[in-house]
Amino acid sequence: MACVEAFRDAGAQIAAMSRNKARLEEINADNGSLALVGDCGREDDVRQAIAEAQTRFGRIDYLVNAAGVVGAGALAATSLTDWQDVMDANLTSCFLLCREAHAALKASQGTVVLMSSTNGINGGTRLSGAAYAVAKAGIINLTRYLAKEWAADGIRVNCVAPGPVETPMIERLSDDEHAALKQLIPLGMYATAEQVAAKTLFLCSHHAATTTGTVANISGGLMLD
């Protein structure tokens, strides 16, 4: 929701998609926004969502994919179903959203920001599992690929790569795991969802007009460029 709030505060009209109906309640309360219940990893849902957004607003200027789920555990203990679920939610969703929105983004000379992770840079750990690390690495190369392919269409494509972020996603960790993780971060703190949203908004703004194909490191020094 942090990205939704950041863009709405900046004056954008919002089309938000989630398979979690409860998370869309605030969007539904805003008559100027479009709340779409659907799964970003399902082709039909994505195609319908993009079509509805174009019908409502007449154009798409920004595409932000903040959907994602984590796995956990060793590769040998990962089922094919769990692997596919994590890959679909994180990586396939980016592919589908970008593909379906391409024509609209070309028409508007729009911008894409995808959500990667430091796990996609450093290989990850068992805390989030192999599928998550591989999916987030795939997002980084999808970003770089599209930045080159779509530059001729006037579309900029970037991604953000946060370290741990203060969201419900990390509530599964124990106090000892949190303490150990923060010891690895030079600044000793997690990013907030609002900070990640602010970087996302910047990458969509005119201030980043010559920025494409970048991976924005938001990790408190956990990863050093």
> Which domains are assigned to the chain?
2-13+59-218 (3.40.50.720)
- Does residue 7 sit in helix, strand or coil? helix
Q: Which of 89, 5, 23, 22 is nearest to 14 (CA)?
A: 5
C-alpha distances out from residue 137 to 35, 143, 203, Å: 29, 10, 20
Q: What is the side-by-side strand order in the sheet with 215-218?
A: 62-65, 111-115, 156-162, 215-218
Q: For residues 163 and 215, which has the higher predicted lDDT (pLDDT)?
A: 215
- Quick check: is 190 catalytic? no
The tens digit of pLDDT for each residue in 169-196 reads 677 777 787 787 788 888 888 889 999 9
| Active-site hit among 62, 132, 145, 190 | 132
For residues 216 and 143, give the distance between their C-alpha atoms in angstroms, rounded to a whole number: 11
pTM here?
0.91
Neighbours of 215 (CB within 10 A): 20
pLDDT above 70 covers a percentage of the chain that reads: 96
